[in-house]
Chains A and B, each alone.
Chain A
Amino acid sequence: MFWASYLLAALAIVLAWPAPIALSRADWTARAPFTAMVLWQSIALAGGLSMIGALLVWGLEPLGDNLVAASAGFLDLLLDDASARTLGVVHVFAISAAVLLFAHLVFTLALTFVRIRRQRSRHRDMLTLLSSPSAQQPATVVINHPAPVAYCLPGGAHSVTVMSDGLMDLLTQAELDAVLTHEHAHLHQRHHLLLWAFAAWRSALPWLPTSQLAQRAVSELIEMLADDEALRRVDRATLVRAIVIVGSGEVHPDRDELAASAADELPRAARADPTGRTLGNESTAHRVRRLLAPLPPLRRLQQAAALSAAGLLLVVPPALLVVPELVG
C-alpha cells in the first residue's frame, strides 16, 4: 500500500512536469496530431488520477492493504467511530486533500462548462442580431466587419460558422471554401470538447505551468487536425494561401502567378526558412510550414508505441489503486 502511494506520487510528478514539457517540444506531434492529442488527454487524466490516488492511498494506508478494503474500513470508521486512533492527523489531512482535490477538479470542469456555454449563448444572441445568413452555405453567417475573420461557434444543433465581409473581400471562392471546410472539421470532430476539458484543466491548476502548455499544445493540434481534414476536400495550395492571407491580413502581390506554380514552389519556400518552430510561439507559421513541406506520417510502429503509452497511462493509476499487492 505504501509503495503504491509513492509510485502514484512519482507518476503524478512526472505527468505534471517532465512529461508535458517533453511532449510539447516533440517534433513528431505535427506528423501525428491525433495520436499526440490522445497522449495529451491521457497525460492530463492520468496526472489527475495519480495526484488524487497518491494522497488517498497514503492516507488510507492504516485501514487496509488495498483501496477497496481501506475504503470499507474508512466507511466503518465514519459510521461507527470505531477505531479513530488508527488514523493519524497526517492521514486525515491526506484523505481530506484527496477529497478536496477531486471536488475541485470536478467543480472546475462543471463551472468551466457553464461559463463557456453562457458566453457562447450570449455570443450567438448577438450574432442573431448583427449577422445575416450566408447565401451559399448552410449554418454559416456573415458579419459586417472589415477585419478578415472566420470562426466557428459550437453549440450542438445551433453550431454556426461566422465569416466577416473583410474575409470575403480578401479571399477567392476556393479559398473561402477551404476556410469553411476547416471550420466545419472543428465542429464535426467535436474539438470544442477538447478545448473545454483543457480550459478547465488550466483554470483548475493555474499554478501548474504545464496546464497552460497543454492548453496551447491542444489548440495547435486541433488546428492541424482541422487542416488535415480540410485537405481531403480542398487543394493544399489553396488552404495555405487562405491561411497566409488571413494571417498576414493582405493578399500576396503575385497571387495569380503563385496560384499557377504553387504546388511546385511551396515546398522550396518552406525549406528556405530554416528557423523552424524555434522562433517563439509562431503557431500559425508552424502550421503553414507543416502544410508546405509535409512530413511523412509517423510510422505505424511509432504510432502504436505512442498509443500504447497513452493506454498504459490510463491503466496504471487505477491498477496501483486497486491491486497494490502487485508491487509490494
Chain B
Amino acid sequence: MATLGDLERTVMDLLWATTESTTANELRDAIAEVPAPETGRELAVTTVLTVLSRLEKKGLVERERNIRPHRYRSVTSREDHTAELMHEVLVTAPDRDAVLARFIGSVSEAEAQTLRTLLGGS
C-alpha cells in the first residue's frame, strides 16, 4: 500500500514532467501507468484530489479555479525547489541552527584558503 508521501511524490513527478496543467482525472490515469511498487493500482479520484490539496497547502501546486474541472500545475520546477531547500541548508541563520547538523558549516574564502594550506596545497 502506498503512503501519502509516496503518492505526493508520484504526483509531483508527473506535474514536474510537464508544463501543462492537468486535471485530477488525467493524473489518476497517469498514475495508473506508473509501474507498481510506487503507488499500487486502482486509485480513486478523491484520493488524487486529497493529495493535490495537500500539495496545494504546502505551496507546491496551484489550482486554476475558474474552469471546471479544476486544473492543477506545479508552482515551480523541481530544480527551483531543490535550490530553495539547499539554500535553507547552506545559509546559516540563528533560528535554524539546531534543525540539522551539517558535515561542514559555512566556510569563508579565507578559511578555505587555510584548509588548502593545511594540506600543503596551492
Q: Tell me the A residues contacting B by CB distance below 8 Å.
A: 112, 115-116, 119-120, 123, 125-130, 143-145, 147, 149-154, 162, 164, 179, 182-183, 186, 191-192, 195-196, 198-199, 202-203, 215, 219, 222, 226, 240-244, 246-249, 252-254, 258, 265-266, 269-270, 272-273, 275, 279-280, 282-285, 288-289, 292
Total interface residues on B, CB under 8 Å, equals 43
- In addition to A123-B100, A143-B82, A215-B97, 16 A-B residue pairs with Cβ atoms within 8 Å of each other are A112-B98, A129-B9, A130-B82, A151-B100, A179-B103, A186-B101, A195-B97, A195-B101, A241-B119, A246-B103, A272-B120, A275-B114, A280-B111, A284-B104, A284-B105, A284-B111
Cβ contact within 8 Å between B114 and A282: yes
Q: Is B19 an interface residue (CB 8 A)?
A: no
B108-122: contact bitstring with A at CB < 8 Å (1 yes, 0 no)? 101111111111111
Q: Is B78 an interface residue (CB 8 A)?
A: yes
If A152-B100, A222-B101, A284-B104 touch, whether A247 touches B81 (CB-CB below 8 Å) is no
Interface 9-mer from B20-28, B42-50, B65-73, B84-92: B84-92
Cβ contact within 8 Å between A288 and B118: yes
Bound complex: CA A182 to CA B103 (Å): 7
Cβ contact within 8 Å between B5 and A128: yes
Q: Note all chain B residues with C-beta closer than 8 A to A153.
A: 99-100
Return B33 CB to nearest CB of chain A, in Å. 20
* Residue from the list B5, B81, B104, B108 in contact with A130, Cβ < 8 A: B81
Q: Note all chain A residues with C-beta closer than 8 A to B82.
A: 130, 143-145
Cβ contact within 8 Å between A247 and B107: yes
Cβ contact within 8 Å between B120 and A123: no
Cβ contact within 8 Å between A279 and B114: yes
Q: Tell me the B residues contacting A by CB distance below 8 Å.
A: 5, 8-9, 12, 58, 60, 78-79, 81-83, 85-86, 88-90, 94-105, 107-108, 110-122
Residue with the highest number of chain B CB atoms closer than 10 Å, among A127, A145, A195, A242: A145
Bound complex: CA A246 to CA B89 (Å): 14
Bound complex: CA A179 to CA B102 (Å): 10
Return B51 CB to nearest CB of chain A, in Å. 12
Bound complex: CA A164 to CA B102 (Å): 12
Q: What would 28 A/B residue contacts be, using CB atoms closer than 8 Å?
A: A115-B95, A123-B88, A125-B5, A129-B12, A144-B79, A149-B89, A151-B101, A152-B100, A153-B99, A153-B100, A179-B103, A192-B98, A195-B97, A241-B119, A243-B115, A246-B103, A248-B116, A253-B121, A269-B118, A269-B120, A270-B118, A272-B120, A275-B114, A279-B114, A284-B107, A285-B114, A285-B118, A288-B115
A203 closest partner in B (C-beta): B95
Q: Note all chain A residues with C-beta closer than 8 A to B5.
A: 125, 128
Q: Note all chain B residues with C-beta closer than 8 A to A283.
A: 105
Return A193 CB to nearest CB of chain B, in Å. 10
Return B88 CB to nearest CB of chain A, in Å. 7
Q: Which 5 A-B pairs have the closest CB atoms?
A: A199-B98, A195-B98, A150-B103, A248-B112, A151-B102
Return A86 CB to nearest CB of chain B, in Å. 45
Q: Note all chain A residues with C-beta closer than 8 A to B118.
A: 244, 269-270, 273, 285, 288-289, 292
Cβ contact within 8 Å between A244 and B100: no
Q: Note all chain B residues with C-beta closer than 8 A to A182.
A: 103
Q: Note all chain B residues with C-beta closer than 8 A to A192.
A: 98, 101
B5 closest partner in A (C-beta): A128
Bound complex: CA A254 to CA B122 (Å): 10
If A164-B86, A252-B119, A269-B120 touch, whether A120 touches B102 (CB-CB below 8 Å) is no
Residue with the highest number of chain A CB atoms closer than 10 Å, among B101, B103, B107, B110: B103
Q: Note all chain A residues with C-beta closer than 8 A to B97.
A: 195, 199, 215, 219
